[in-house]
Copies of this chain bind each other. A is one copy, B any other.
């Protein structure tokens, strides 16, 4: 059932791990190939340049990131129909997922935002981040239809703010070398949301959940 991944996939996977640890410029092709047990011939058969590998990594990251967050939202969707509860549960279980990691998490886009500079990549990152922004924005819009916010807010901005806190949490968790740091910041976001909509989470629904290896 579990098919052996193709060489190309192996390269992308290993490259992703290494880039997260050392940055794109700090990761050499040789490093990646050593980790894969492959040679230059294989690499340049599958990718015509390192930049092309960068794009492939980014695409893989998006896929993985999407499925990671979607899984939480699907789980949460099964537990309650209340949009506010959904968001709070989502944040809660997400926060919990960061408490048991061996290494600090990180976002590939953040890494690239500080060292990669092809236009194609910039465009790609912008497009996907805005997609996420409006995706989370819709979550908050669903809340606003049922609950009156105490202050005037733009739900898309709140979506962006969620991403902002994830990104900032990642950076700090790397600086402090404490993966669980992200959880704390997510809980502050939960506070913020709760205060905005004037209704606390019902804790009996929350349930820890551990997940592996992804951001």
Contacts and interface: CB of A to CB of B under 8 A. Distances in A.
A23 B20 CA distance: 13
A67 interface: no
A8 interface: no
B110 A171 contact: yes
A74 interface: no
A167 B129 CA distance: 16
A115 to B, nearest CB: 3
Interface in A174-203: 174-177, 181, 184-185, 188, 191-192, 194-196
Nearest to A165: B168
A176 B184 CA distance: 26
B195 A151 contact: yes
A157 interface: yes
A126 interface: yes
Interface string A133-171: 000000000000000001101000110110111111101
Contacts of A157: 184, 188
Contact of A23 (B26, B130, B160): B26
11 contacts: A23-B25, A26-B116, A114-B114, A115-B115, A157-B188, A160-B181, A160-B184, A161-B188, A164-B172, A167-B172, A192-B195
Interface of A: 20-26, 106-107, 109-111, 113-117, 122, 125-126, 129-130, 150-151, 153, 157-158, 160-161, 163-169, 171-172, 174-177, 181, 184-185, 188, 191-192, 194-196
